[in-house]
Chain A
Amino acid sequence: MKLFKFIAVLLLMSLWQPVSAQEKLEDDVKDGSVDVADMLFGHIGDSYGWHITDWNGKHVTIPLPCIVRSSTGWHCFMSSELEHGHRYEGLFIAQEGRYQDKIVEYGENGEIIRPFDISITKNVASLMFTAVLLVFLVLYTARWYRRNDASEKAPKGFAGLMEMMVMMVNDDLVKPSIGPDYRKYTPYLLTVFFFIFLSNLLGIVPFFPGGANVTGNIAVTLVLALCTFVAINLFANRHYWKEILWPDVPVFLKFPIPLMQIIEIFGMITKPFSLMVRLFANILAGHAMILGLVSVIFVTAKLGPVINGSMTVVTMLFGVFMDCLELLVAFIQAYVFTMLSSVFIGMSRQEEH
């Protein structure tokens, strides 16, 4: 209770001098010393290079390959070519507008158009890293089973941890949700679980190989949700399709105007859509919260040592709390995505009752 009072007083204190602080903050933003929104979106969004840190006023960025097919054909170059507004073979990074921070070129009439862009961006690099790490971890575990007779003894150490998690997903999520022929789906659902979980965990790590906002990117969750959509509908049984195309309702609801069918098909799409948005929004929000909390330290830097010092303490406390929460969320979101996927798959395989 005392701690809460302390925090509340500190927060009130920071609100108490809005006028001067606001002016100062605006000055800072103009100076370019602290631009919270830019920093925040820069970190949770995608970028062509992997910005690690600033050192002596210089960006330390790992250049990543850009692969672009523009009107002049394929281009392949390192992202360092485009830094600081440089142009490379007619390509440049848009500073504003619809395609802000993306590689664009000028069209014939001088308008900005976006070429076909499959660059290895920060998120793609992080995805690759995650994928390699995941494959390594799982194959490392599988190697234990190849070398040892698993029916004689249980694995210890990392393989034991992996076994525990694999069997938790297998026995607690997949088996009860899908039913007797769950085996067909276990590899997919396990891959999804570990992929999301590892990506989430790496997202919390604040320095180089981690820190990218992979599962908080809608493209990534879109692909995952599409995979689940395919898994739901590809192996669905007759009963499932009958429920969608000719449900058990009075005829006037489904015959001249296919009202029920529209609702059912809409429901078919909302299931993976909810999966996509849930994961995306949770991870994005977590990253945004932590980054916002950290930036409080820099925002209050110009408000005097007392405020800045106390806010730093508060921010650190909140930051630790948020990081712990994010650890929990990393697991919960992977768990929920897998669980709902298996529940939806199980529903598509339900027999008539």
Chain B
Amino acid sequence: MNLMLPDSGLIFWMTIIFAIVFFILAKFGFPMITGMVEKRAKRIDDAISAARKAEEAIAHLDQEKERIISETRAEQAQMKKEAAQERDRMIAEAQDQARAEAQKIIEDARQKIAEERDAALREVRREVAILSLSIAEKIVRENLSSDEKQKALADKMADEASDLYGVSKS
């Protein structure tokens, strides 16, 4: 059957035609298409990796932000704490100062009071002495109105003076 026998003329033409088609397509056709598609694929890959990098950078930024925030928080807390300490210290200092001041005032007052009292006491003694002298004068005057009485008194005083002397001697 001639269906199974390859015809030489057809082989000849097929070889030539296929060679020409192959030459044209291999030179101008397919490498153009595959090359361009590969270029595009590469570009898409690049874009994807760039996006991934950007994502990573964003994640990194997020971390950075978190870190900064927490750092700031810590700093804030520290500052608060320091401020509180400072305040406490100042309050304590002020209290101490006030206390010292008050002490001093009290001390002064006490001293003044003591001085005043001494002065008052002296005055009172002086008054009492004057008073007792005047009283004594009146009494003496009364007692010395008669001779007997003068004599009695002189005796008495002599006794007293001897007693006093004796007591002081003993």
Contact = CB atoms under 8 A, between A and B. Distances in A.
Contacts of B2: 45, 100-101
A186 B30 contact: yes
A187 interface: yes
A154 B44 CA distance: 11
B6 A218 contact: yes
A219 B10 contact: yes
Contact of A124 (B8, B9, B26, B31): B9
A218 B4 contact: yes
Interface of A: 41, 44-46, 100-101, 116-121, 123-124, 127-128, 131, 134-135, 138-139, 141-142, 145-146, 150-151, 154, 162-163, 166-167, 170, 186-188, 190-191, 194-195, 217-220, 222-224, 227, 284
Nearest to B14: A223
A195 B21 contact: yes
B124 interface: no
B34 A186 contact: yes
Contacts of B8: 116-118, 219
A116 B8 CA distance: 8
A101 B1 CA distance: 12
Contacts of B43: 151
Interface of B: 2-15, 17-18, 20-22, 24-26, 28-34, 36-37, 39-40, 42-43
Given A163-B37, A166-B34, A218-B3, A134 B10 contact: no
Contacts of B20: 131
Contacts of A194: 25
A170 B34 contact: yes
A118 B25 CA distance: 25
Nearest to B26: A187
Given A139-B24, A139-B28, A187-B31, A145 B36 contact: yes
B53 to A, nearest CB: 19
Nearest to B39: A151
Nearest to A276: B6
B37 A167 contact: yes
A134 B17 CA distance: 11
A11 B31 CA distance: 53
Given A150-B40, A187-B25, A223-B18, A45 B3 contact: yes
Contacts of A223: 11, 14-15, 18
A170 B3 CA distance: 33
27 contacts: A117-B8, A117-B9, A118-B8, A131-B17, A131-B20, A131-B21, A134-B25, A135-B25, A138-B30, A139-B28, A141-B29, A141-B33, A142-B30, A142-B33, A166-B30, A166-B33, A167-B34, A186-B31, A186-B34, A187-B31, A188-B26, A191-B22, A191-B30, A194-B25, A217-B6, A219-B14, A223-B15
A202 B97 CA distance: 113
Given A150-B37, A150-B39, A227-B18, A142 B29 contact: yes
B13 A120 contact: yes
A292 B26 CA distance: 39
A173 to B, nearest CB: 13
Nearest to B36: A150
A219 B6 contact: yes
Contacts of B37: 150, 163, 166-167, 170
